[in-house]
Amino acid sequence: MVRPTGRGASGNQPASHSDPVQSQRHTRHPRRVLRRADRRRILAFHPLGICLAARSAHHPDPLRARSGTDRYDAASLPTRTVRTTFHRAPLTNRKNSEMKTPSKLNPFSRNSSSPSDKFVMNRRRALGLAAGAAAATFAGSSLTACAKEGGGSGGYKVAMIVPTYDAVRWKAADGPFFIQEAQALGMNPMPIQSSNNDVDLQLKQVENALNQGIEGLVLAPVNVDAAKAMVQMANSAGVPVIAHNYVVPEAKLAGVSARDGIALGEMLGAAMVAMAPEGNYAIAKGEEGTDMAQLKAEGGMNILKPMIDSGTIAVVSDQWNRAWSGDLAQKQIEQALTISGNQLAGVLSYCDCMTYGIVQAIRAQGLAGKIIVSGEDCEPEMLKLILGGDAHVSAWTAFDQMGRNSAQLLFNALEGKSWDGDTYDNGSGETIPFFKTPLRNVTKDGALPDSISVAQFVDENPWWTTPAAVGL
């Protein structure tokens, strides 16, 4: 069974706040006892704030009852944004993970802006969500009523929110196949939303989806710890949440649709060791704020550790890369090549999007094809690199099946159906239905154990790519 970790984010606890209503009593006008700033704080922190803003067009605002003043939308209120990263210092020097603008010389760069602008968390919104979760005992019924408004006659109104479109999978596989299966089950899915690797944006998207009356949510979090408040908010509204690809720890989930992260890391690690059994290694890990990045890293180390302990393999660089950034991975490998005097045997990378930057670093030293390089997702560009000899293996997860599985889990939860399959323990103390997605390695010729060739992969997945697209 997959073991959830989900650690690596900030872990900050919301600060306590005194009741602004109690602190601003006024004897003469009992219904106009709040200053404007305090009214704004109430809508930001109060568990009913979101619902009040959504319903203001139909219901009098209780904070301004009989006041004769204009109503306002809580989302429009000016708030002070506090930038908070959810990234711990990597295992190497922290300077190695500082954010840089993507290199114009890197044709494989998948970032349109500096990742330093990402993972911005609006503290006031986060605290408001935490307060809403704590007060769910008296707010749940009102939030539920708000969420159910707009539920359609075309079946359950549902939404899926993904972390980014930087990786091909989210727009080409997970999202479209979720919508396809949801419609086949009679549900009414909203258009897929991407959070651009921004925690605060994802928070707003969840709020907006609830305000639009969704009855079920599939969430692929930008950061699993930050997503706890989002899941709590949905639960308070009576909306079940399916964790897709990344598992939110210690939260009440209606299901998990994901792969076995440890098994995937072990599968890639075994392939790397088979092709590069000794020498210097660099390990390029993904976003530390996601449980999947941590699980894959754990699995890979399960394979490498015996050889590291024996001295057969030496790890010269082991680093988390925020937002799975190819530019950060490129910088990491440039430094690893310098440290090792260009004597790298292999680079264990856990995402194709990072591998593109890694290949650029290797090419710049004239070492293309001489260093074993891995990836994950089997993007068409990565398959080209494997056929050309610049990269050597990419792990494949059936993203189409993962999208369908999320739709099925959500439908089961909404229908109250029982589950007799695999289960997942995320530390919440509840038994969570788990749809496990199959895994496979893809290499040039399929000669490694548990792998298939690029040609066979393309033939089996015509919806993902074509022979012409990968250079066959």
What is the 3 state secondary structure string of the chain? CCCCCCCCCCCCCCCCCCCHHHHCCCCCCCCCCCCHHHHHHHHHHCCCHHHHHHHCCCCCCHHHCCCCCCCCCHHHCCCCCCCCCCCCCCCCCHHHHCCCCCCCCCCCCCCCCCHHHCCCCCHHHHHHHHHHHHCHHHHHHHHHHHHHCCCCCCCCEEEEEECCCCCHHHHHHHHHHHHHHHHHCCCEECCCEECCCCHHHHHHHHHHHHHCCCCEEEECCCCCCCHHHHHHHHHHCCCCEEEECCCCCCCCCCEEEEECHHHHHHHHHHHHHHHCCCEEEEEEECCCCCHHHHHHHHHHHHHHHHHHHHCCEEEEEEEECHHHCHHHHHHHHHHHHHHHCCCCCEEEECCHHHHHHHHHHHHHCCCCCCCEEEEECCCHHHHHHHHHCCCCEEEEECHHHHHHHHHHHHHHHHHCCCCCCCEECCCCCCCEEEEEECEEEEECECCCCCEEEHHHHHHHCCCCCCHHHHCC
Asked whether residue 92 carries a pLDDT value surpassing 80, the answer given is: no
Q: Look at residue 185 in the predicted model and tell me its pLDDT.
A: 96
> What average pLDDT does the structure give for the chain?
77
Helix 227-236 crosses helix 136-148 at what angle (to 10 degrees)?
80
Reply yes or no on whether the pLDDT at 154 is more than 60: no
Q: Is the pLDDT of residue 451 over 60?
A: yes
How many degrees, rounded to 5, is the angle at CA 296 between CA 292 and CA 300?
Answer: 175
- Is residue 368 scored above 90 in pLDDT? yes
Q: What pLDDT band is residue 450 in, cutting at 50, 70 and 90? A: confident
What percent of the chain has a predicted confidence (pLDDT) above 70? 67
Does the global pTM surpass 0.85?
Answer: no
If pLDDT is split at 50, 70 and 90, which confidence band does 54 have?
very low
Q: Which of 6 and 178 is assigned the larger pLDDT?
A: 178
Domains of the chain: 29-76 (no CATH), 94-112+261-398+440-470 (3.40.50.2300), 140-259+399-438 (3.40.50.2300)
Per-residue pLDDT tens digits for 252-261: 999 999 999 9
- In this predicted structure, the answer to whether residue 107 has a pLDDT above a threshold of 50 is no
pLDDT for 396 beyond 80: yes
Q: State pLDDT tens for residues 307-354.
A: 999 999 999 999 999 999 999 999 999 999 999 999 999 999 999 999
For residue 158, the model assigns a pLDDT of: 98
**Section 46-68 average pLDDT:** 39
pLDDT of residue 266: 97
Q: What percent of the chain has pLDDT over 90?
A: 65
Single-letter code of the amino acid located at 243? A
Mean pLDDT of 391-419: 96
- Lowest mean pLDDT across 87-96, 161-170, 446-455: 87-96
Phi, psi torsion values for 281, nearest 5 degrees = -125, 150
Q: What is the pLDDT of residue 289?
A: 87
Average pLDDT over residues 365-372: 97
Model confidence at 167, pLDDT cuts 50, 70, 90, reads confident
The pLDDT of residue 32 is above 50: no
pLDDT given at position 73: 39
Is the pLDDT at 153 greater than 80, yes or no? no
Q: Facing residues of 453 across strands?
A: 443, 445
Q: Is the pLDDT of residue 207 over 60?
A: yes
Q: What is the mean pLDDT of residues 169-185?
A: 96
pLDDT in tens, 378-391: 999 999 999 999 99
pLDDT at 35: 45
Rounded to whole angstroms, what are the CA distances from 326 to 14, 106, 114, 122, 389?
33, 9, 11, 26, 19
pLDDT, residue 449, reads 85
Task: Check residues 66 and 237 and name the one with the higher pLDDT.
Answer: 237
Whether residue 230 is predicted with pLDDT greater than 70 in this model: the reply is yes
Cα distance between residue 211 and residue 234, in whole Å: 11
